[in-house]
Amino acid sequence: MCGIVGYIGNGEAYPMLLKGLKSLEYRGYDSAGFAIVNKGIAIEKDIGRIEDVEKKIDLSMLKGSAGLAHCRWATHGSVTKSNAHPHADCSNKIVVVHNGIIENYSQLKEKLMQKNHAFSSETDTEVIAHLIEEYMKNSGFEEAVRNALKEVNGSYALGVICADEPDKLVAARNESPLIIGKGSNGMFIASDIPALLEYTNSFVYLHDRETAVLGKGSIAISDLEGAKKNFKVSRINWSREDAEKGGYKHFMLKEIYEQPRAITETLNGRLKNGNVIFEEEINLSDKEILEIEDVKIIGCGTSWHAALVGKFMFEELAKITTEVEYASEFRYRNPIIKKNTLVIAISQSGETADTVAALKEAKKLGVKTIAICNVRGSSITRAADGAVYTMAGPEIGVASTKAFTTQLAVLYLLTILFSKARKTLNDRQIKDMIDGIRKIPLQMASVLNEDMEIMNCAELYHKKTNSLYLGRGVNFPIALEGALKLKEVSYMHAEGYPAAEMKHGPIALIDENMPVVFIAPHDIYTHSKILGNIEEVKARGGIVIAIATEGDSEIPKKAGHTIFIPKTLYTLSSMLAVIPLQLLAYHIADKLGRDIDKPRNLAKSVVVE
């Protein structure tokens, strides 16, 4: 859960490393450090955010054309200067940055200490530097890295430089993200693509247990035995502007506002002549779709909420029994999976450790798997049989927003595909579904126009300490998502519940200090029930904020504030209803002066268990 960037080339390394690292700061912001090769290796690091470290140390004196940088989210060892990366061996000649966890580090450390290696941190990472040092007694630099990694259990994305071989940067990965950027003026490594967009659009994906030796103009990839591997250079069409704030105060706000475009991109080319076209992406024939007996969807956090919406759609429309599981639970029990189960893993980053591991568990059980993911070439897309990309573009804010709605769009397209193949819906219904989603981008834009009203609610209620989010059916997951958004960016306590469950406990919390957000788009089955729930909250003095469908005349009579969303199909209402909740969380957090894009204790991708 850290950020890594590395460079070797003809340019000045430090400014590029700094820029790349700043864009990776969402991955960890306990401490930051740099190592630059120049007649030896100069290391500078300290605790705090990158800008704090810049204030404490004059980093501009770091001159050289190869180096590494790291921002840390502490796992092993507290937040201290000595635990900050980069870490070096006894001679300060071998320097590493690492993201991941070395599970057997204490055994390795003990062994190395017996051989008189002196450690200067409490981290698991430092053992790698000493292990390489040990192997370099009998072999060259890259071979020593490979040999060291053969002894290591756990996850790593690694950048290594060596003062004795200043023309090489060695990188390696296992279950932690790392990409190689092929620039015109040098080679890069980074934890994600946006960190390098300023310098290149050409990327090479490193696979698990592979190492790469980068020179100023060369890339060589091999496995841990040293056997050469072929690789492909892929071009990514994300632009640098996509990964910048573009005039918005925060990435989160920019990403909320990008949703109409993100949905348009996600639909692009996938709706043709009344059909959903996934080309080879899902890698399932019509026959295989017909044979699906169950679907299991796995994910974490917001992606898990998307999975719940997917369950609703698959069961309601495609009539496929669907279970949703937290990836972290799925991987550690013995799930019963029938032969014809389809497992879908959802992840924005494609690197969430639990989701990757759960998907691999499912694969071991021999069932078909699909990944729904935003990042090309990420671990889950490589592990799954098929991968459908959400075309949200880089999501930088820690709070997931556009990734969520594009996940819903993909799940909706899968629902159409499955419903059509299984003939659970007729042509008219399919057409209505397609017409419905085509309108969503414009309808999202009109929801964004409600921002002033939402800001007004934020002004009134940002000092409250608790809140409740209630929804039913396809909008129960939206209640969970709204509560999660508020918690993570504002640190205000919030709970999401199915609206009717309120009477079974949470109602005891309601008083005049409790805002209750009802997600209540019109639905013939539950609308009158939700109206009843609103009355119950009001009777106890609670403050009601409602999300309702345009034209609903009942809800505004009862709610303190009503935010309208355009009329759409019930299954699509979740995609619109979540936007006011994202904005509400954002504005409350902003009024409280929170660090919205990098909320405390969080990191964008949770690549540790």
The reply to whether 488 sits near ligand M6R by the rule CB under 6 A is yes
Q: Which residues pair with 280 in a beta bridge?
A: none
Q: How far is the CB of 127 from ligand M6R (least distance, A)?
A: 28
The reply to whether 300 sits near ligand M6R by the rule CB under 6 A is yes
**Residue 460: CB partners within 8 Å, gap ≥ 6?**
none
Residues constituting the chain: 609
Rounded to whole angstroms, the Cα distance separating 383 from 375 reads 13
Name which of 560 and 599 has its Cβ closer to ligand M6R. 599
The reply to whether 348 sits near ligand M6R by the rule CB under 6 A is yes
* CB-based contact 31:48 (threshold 8 Å): yes
CA distances from 66 to 19, 191, 355, 379 (A): 15, 17, 34, 27
Candidates 65, 302, 526, 571: give the one binding ligand M6R (CB under 6 A).
Answer: 302
* CB-based contact 197:36 (threshold 8 Å): no
Name which of 123 and 400 has its Cβ closer to ligand M6R. 400
Q: Which stretch binds ligand M6R (CB under 6 A): 228-236, 334-342, 349-357, 381-389?
A: 349-357
Count of chain residues binding ligand M6R (CB under 6 A)? 16
Name which of 168 and 604 has its Cβ closer to ligand M6R. 604
Half-sphere exposure of 429 (CA within 13 A, CB side): 14
State yes or no: is 2 an active-site residue: yes
Q: Output Rg (C-alpha) for the chain, integer angstroms.
A: 25
Site track 586-605 with ligand M6R (rule: CB under 6 A), x = hit = -------------------x
Q: Which stretch binds ligand M6R (CB under 6 A): 165-173, 221-229, 345-353, 585-593?
A: 345-353
Q: Which stretch binds ligand M6R (CB under 6 A): 35-43, 59-67, 301-309, 430-438?
A: 301-309
The reply to whether 349 sits near ligand M6R by the rule CB under 6 A is yes
What DSSP string describes 519-581?
A: EE---TTTHHHHHHHHHHHHHTT-EEEEEEETT--SHHHH-SEEEEE----HHHHHHHHHHHH
How crowded is residue 189: how many other Cβ atoms within 10 Å of its Cβ?
Answer: 30
SS3 string of 91-138? CCCEEEEEEEEECCHHHHHHHHHHCCCCCCCCCCCHHHHHHHHHHCCC
Q: How far is the CB of 15 from ligand M6R (least distance, A)?
A: 29
Q: Which residues pair with 180 in a beta bridge?
A: 189, 204
Site track 392-411 with ligand M6R (rule: CB under 6 A), x = hit = ------xxx-----------
Name which of 31 and 349 has its Cβ closer to ligand M6R. 349
- Catalytic annotation, pick one of 109, 168, 402, 604: 604
Residue 288: exposure state from Cβ atoms within 10 A (0-12, 13-18, ≥19): middle
Name which of 121 and 352 has its Cβ closer to ligand M6R. 352
The reply to whether 155 sits near ligand M6R by the rule CB under 6 A is no
CA distances from 325 to 240, 300, 350, 420, 488 (A): 36, 9, 17, 26, 21
Site track 429-468 with ligand M6R (rule: CB under 6 A), x = hit = ----------------------------------------
The reply to whether 352 sits near ligand M6R by the rule CB under 6 A is yes
Q: How far is the CB of 599 from ligand M6R (least distance, A)?
A: 8
Rounded to whole angstroms, the Cα distance separating 88 from 160 reads 10
* CB-based contact 144:168 (threshold 8 Å): no
Instruction: Tell me the residue nearest to ligand M6R as measured from the CB.
Output: 301
The reply to whether 355 sits near ligand M6R by the rule CB under 6 A is yes
Q: Which stretch binds ligand M6R (CB under 6 A): 124-132, 150-158, 344-352, 412-420?
A: 344-352
- Catalytic annotation, pick one of 2, 162, 300, 373: 2
Candidates 33, 301, 496, 515: give the one binding ligand M6R (CB under 6 A).
Answer: 301
Rounded to whole angstroms, the Cα distance separating 445 from 443 reads 5
Q: How far is the CB of 399 from ligand M6R (least distance, A)?
A: 4
Rounded to whole angstroms, the Cα distance separating 112 from 246 reads 49
State yes or no: is 604 an active-site residue: yes
The reply to whether 606 sits near ligand M6R by the rule CB under 6 A is yes
The reply to whether 383 sits near ligand M6R by the rule CB under 6 A is no
Q: How far is the CB of 191 from ligand M6R (least distance, A)?
A: 13
- φ, ψ at 457 (rounded to 5°): -60, -40
Catalytic residues: 2, 604
Residues that bind ligand M6R (CB under 6 A): 300-303, 347-349, 352, 355, 398-400, 484, 488, 605-606
